[in-house]
Chain A
């Protein structure tokens, strides 16, 4: 199984983007993606997938507004109300049926247009059991983080190191908007949100749009001499319920990863994969996900972190782009943003944040609070 990534476009992430409407932002990313593989969307694309949620857009049935800026009017278009990586998976499944050769996947967000993000996050909680408690939804991250610290018998300094690493990595990434040189003292003195969660543990929202062009194995090389290949993918949902979920171990992430590794024929992810762009919506999630993804299991994550293994020059670079903590949080577009920067690495076009060895990568996403919805991709260059 192989699907080729033949074109991609990402608008640089910004905290605000008042000069462009969401349609104009997407158009900019789409033009870049189509240009890379020389296609005309009106003629060449067989199917379009957009990832969006109505409450984030502030428009009901948002899928109404998805085709025009992609050149997809009067063609097959559908929305996946999940992360961009689940959109990539939907497009891959379509291509693998043999009925479609070229698929486009888009996701975008105008975080800055959402005036009441907490009010909207609250709407994601169970309306009967949880919402009436009227807690800021970050309490869920606080609960999970607390359990994470206790089980691993650590004190949180480790998560500070993740924040410092990712924000420093972002300084070299021109697409990132939250790069900075942070000290451990800066981190520890940031405001408490839902202890042990500090404000510095939370990735900050940004505006951006990302478009990918995928192609079947048959046509990919005719569109792009050096496509990036998706050799495996997996996705999974854990429990939405706060009262019955596993609070410590992320079995849904493990299942999704296993599915992807199996398809990509990966037996030892730590050795076979060169680096990972994985979800760091909250700092502790990066470490928690690393373990569940089966890369450093049985508590080795913390020792490796201390060794500096996850730095760009380390043994297994994690989020060399800066991740969500350094680049910005893009809601449904977050997974595509990660895939974009991972592809830059594989193409050797990551500029200042280019890794020495980047032939095979793991890209991972999580849909954020209160979900346990996740997706993984394995990408490689031939």
Chain B
């Protein structure tokens, strides 16, 4: 895949329902932590990549410009990339192509989200994601499309809610060991099934929380990697794909866009048998069913088979394929773009053996992180390895 690109430093803030800090301040905290992690100074960074989801959350038009100084972008080449909910993992891809181009030696990637600014509820910001003429007059809310996709997935493969609820139980439990987590709790499948129905089949405990937070990583070329760390984590493959906006013309039972993105990333990484070549996965889990959906799209199991993988305990931290050992969005929280980057940070720590209490049982040399977004349309995939 041409020039090698490494991640050498990571940083993140706490994920909270409502942060006292402004978006800029959160971005600064994360960026500074990432630089400190590897001992770099901002002056040693050539370019900055910013990732953040819709401007309406913060109520700031041109949010990338607003965040730029907090993210370390002052007087530097700064680019803000954007693929909706997929932005957190895509920002890593954007950082990768900066460095892999050969023109930029070091790149600071910062993702921030402050969803608490929008009143009375951040869901309001999502009202305007639908087609302005053919859908918005029906006054849709965000949960509709996820409920529609979840129902289609369950109906097509005959999946039970009990099986899906296991994901929420696992991830929220994993989050108990994450110091930045917002929703760490021990719950049971019955708790999920008894939680209020929001939009059938989606219930309260199927859903990740609304969050504020920021994450950052430092990406450098092969020559600098050895200078700043003795354990670089390499970007082995990247892939992304955006399916048609005509989402009512697609079969929602399977995320083709994730498969396309994964194929691209695996090809670059030389992964031929994902189930064996990938040792750990952080798929995007804003809803419990999405972790399953995405495991299938990532070709880590067959279509409709992810629930069984979960039932069998394969995806637990001590399983053969640990999935969301961080606690995922369901447990750590979902400040959208920052949540995607949190997954990459988790892989970085796991691959280096620095995940502390969250360290998975098996030996891991290669992992995959994935994020998803838009109208059930975006797949962003990175394969990391040591």
Contact = CB atoms under 8 A, between A and B. Distances in A.
The 9 closest A-B pairs by CB, nearest first: A123-B61, A77-B242, A96-B101, A97-B100, A73-B244, A55-B61, A237-B78, A61-B84, A124-B61
Contacts of B246: 68
Contacts of B78: 235-237, 373
A53 B82 CA distance: 10
A278 to B, nearest CB: 19
B126 A81 contact: no
15 contacts: A60-B56, A63-B84, A63-B374, A64-B129, A65-B131, A73-B243, A76-B240, A77-B242, A80-B80, A81-B55, A81-B62, A94-B97, A96-B101, A124-B61, A235-B79
A123 B82 contact: no
Contacts of A259: 77
B112 interface: no
B126 A60 contact: yes
A63 B61 contact: no
Nearest to B244: A73
A60 B125 contact: yes
Contacts of A40: none
A236 B78 CA distance: 6
B385 to A, nearest CB: 17
Contacts of B125: 60
A77 B55 CA distance: 19
Interface stretch (B36-44, B169-177, B256-264, B318-326): B256-264
Interface stretch (B66-74, B146-154, B204-212): B66-74
A59 B77 CA distance: 27
B239 A61 contact: no
B82 A63 contact: yes
B76 interface: yes
A97 B3 contact: yes
Contacts of B2: 97-99
B54 interface: yes
A239 to B, nearest CB: 6
A133 interface: no
Nearest to A76: B240
B264 A59 contact: no
Interface in B355-374: 373-374
A48 B83 CA distance: 12
Given A60-B126, A68-B244, A76-B240, A240 B77 contact: no
B128 A255 contact: no
Interface in A234-270: 234-241, 251-252, 255-256, 259, 263
A82 interface: yes
B22 A128 contact: yes
A120 interface: yes
Contact of B77 (A64, A235, A371): A235
Interface centre among A60, A75, A236, A255 (most CB of B within 10 A): A60
A43 to B, nearest CB: 15
B108 interface: no
Interface of B: 1-3, 22, 48, 53-56, 58-66, 68-69, 73-85, 90, 94, 96-98, 100-104, 117, 125-129, 131-132, 239-246, 256-257, 260-261, 264, 268, 373-375, 377-378
A89 B80 CA distance: 12
A78 B75 contact: no
Nearest to B257: A74
Contact of A373 (B55, B65, B96): B65
Nearest to B63: A81
Contacts of A124: 60-62, 65-66
Interface in A204-249: 234-241
A227 to B, nearest CB: 19
Contact of A74 (B66, B94, B241): B241
A156 interface: no
A96 B378 CA distance: 24
Contacts of B3: 97-98
Contacts of A80: 79-82
Contacts of A67: 242-245
A327 B358 CA distance: 58
Interface centre among B54, B55, B246 (most CB of A within 10 A): B55
Given A90-B97, A256-B77, 18 more contacts: A1-B103, A55-B55, A60-B126, A61-B84, A61-B85, A61-B373, A68-B245, A75-B241, A80-B79, A82-B64, A93-B104, A97-B100, A99-B1, A121-B61, A124-B66, A127-B60, A237-B76, A241-B69
Q: What range describes how many residues of A lie at the interface? A: 35 or more
A58 interface: yes
Contacts of A54: 54-56, 61
A76 B264 contact: yes
A53 B132 contact: no
Interface in A12-28: none
A44 B77 CA distance: 30
B75 to A, nearest CB: 6
Given A76-B264, A77-B242, A240 B55 contact: no
Interface centre among B82, B84, B85 (most CB of A within 10 A): B82
B377 A240 contact: no
A126 interface: yes
A86 interface: yes
A81 B64 contact: yes
A77 B241 CA distance: 6
Contacts of A1: 103
Contacts of B74: 237-239
B296 to A, nearest CB: 17
Nearest to B56: A60
A98 B2 CA distance: 7
Contact of A234 (B55, B77, B97, B256): B77
Contacts of A59: 128-129, 132
A93 B98 contact: yes
A171 B75 CA distance: 38
A123 B242 contact: no
Contact of B75 (A74, A79, A99, A255): A255
A82 B55 CA distance: 13
A135 B102 CA distance: 44
A66 B86 CA distance: 15
Contact of A53 (B61, B128, B129): B61
A16 to B, nearest CB: 18
A238 to B, nearest CB: 7
